[in-house]
Amino acid sequence: MSQTENGARRRSNRRGVGREMEDEEEGPVLRAKVKHLAQLVRESKYAVVYTGAGISTAAGIPDFRGPSGVWTLQAKGKVVAEPDFTKLNPTLTHYVLRSFIERGHFHYIVTQNIDSLHLRSGVPSEKQSELHGNYSLETCPLCDARYFRSHAVWKGLTTPTKNPSTARKDLRQGSTQGDDKPQRSNKRQVRNIDHRTGRLCEADGCAGELESSVVLFGESLPAKEVNSAWDHTYKADLALVLGSSLKVGPACDMPAQVGKNGGKLVIVNLQHTPFDGRASLVIHARCDDVLRLLAEELDLSEQNPSLVSSNRALEHDVGVHEDMSSECYDQKLEEFERSFMVQTTSFAPRT
């Protein structure tokens, strides 16, 4: 590793197909930048977080373009096995974000990840938009009921992506042109892919055929998720990007729009992004390291539960409807806790 002029460690000096250079800032440089970020959060009235594959690498899910990323390894002819999402646990970043949402520091999360780790960390579905779907979510096309399962609902049907953390690269048709919000259609663009899971909706008088929510390559993003994400984007005065290369629309367009509207854009990513020059603050560091320090700056000293992997699966699937009332969500978490050991994670800085 070599040193850059700003004191960051350079993790890779090579560029190749599917591989990009990573810089990692640490020590006084990192702490100073996180203090700046904390001040922006304090001054913000409506902050939105945009998350990509980089927040889940600590959980064991590879990203796209890093030195050990899916596209990097595939370019070398290596086979990348999909992780078992059901055995992976939310990271420190996921839990800190949940606490920030609960305390009102941030108001909404827009994610490209299908790993369900935001949900499993305790962030209610009404506080997030999953632009590429959720591996454990199946929906009813007739009544819009939503069911969260303890397993991958698309297993045995079709592989949703060669990238196991996010859905395949979305068509650039999702990018915005100018300042207008895109109006997306729910109609699937790829008609020869069957999303049906083989289960029926349990809502009274419905019995619709449930479908996987994961967006496959070439398909439209779900209009409801996209439109909700844009609604919160246009309210935001602070956009915090975590672990995203910002190269896929419309996910890259949303935080950029916050900057266009006069808000602040902050990017946390090991790799450089096309939007670094437009950002008020760029931090090249691991998401867990940044969120650990940010939690300290914002006096988030509480202990937080962390699910520890267990080989036991839930005895029964838990179906949670779209309204995601607190009672429903508490019940869902209790089901998970019966199946996973619980430990506490301190957000104090590592020594």
CA 110 – CA 47 distance, rounded (Å): 11
The answer to whether the bond into 182 is cis (omega within 30° of 0) is no
Contacts of 6 (CB under 8 A, 6+ apart): 25, 29
94, 105, 118, 132: which is the annotated catalytic residue?
132
Tokens of 302: 């509480």
206 is in an annotated binding site: yes
287 is in an annotated binding site: no
252 is in an annotated binding site: no
* Cβ atoms within 10 Å of 314's Cβ, excluding its own: 15
Best CA proximity match to 11, nearest among 277, 292, 284: 284
Active site residue 132: yes
CA 51 – CA 241 distance, rounded (Å): 6
For residue 31, the SS3 value is helix
CA 311 – CA 330 distance, rounded (Å): 23
328 is in an annotated binding site: no
First to last CA, the chain: 22
Which residues line the annotated binding site for Zn(2+)? 140, 143, 201, 206
Annotated binding residues, written as ranges, equal: 140, 143, 201, 206
- Catalytic positions are 132
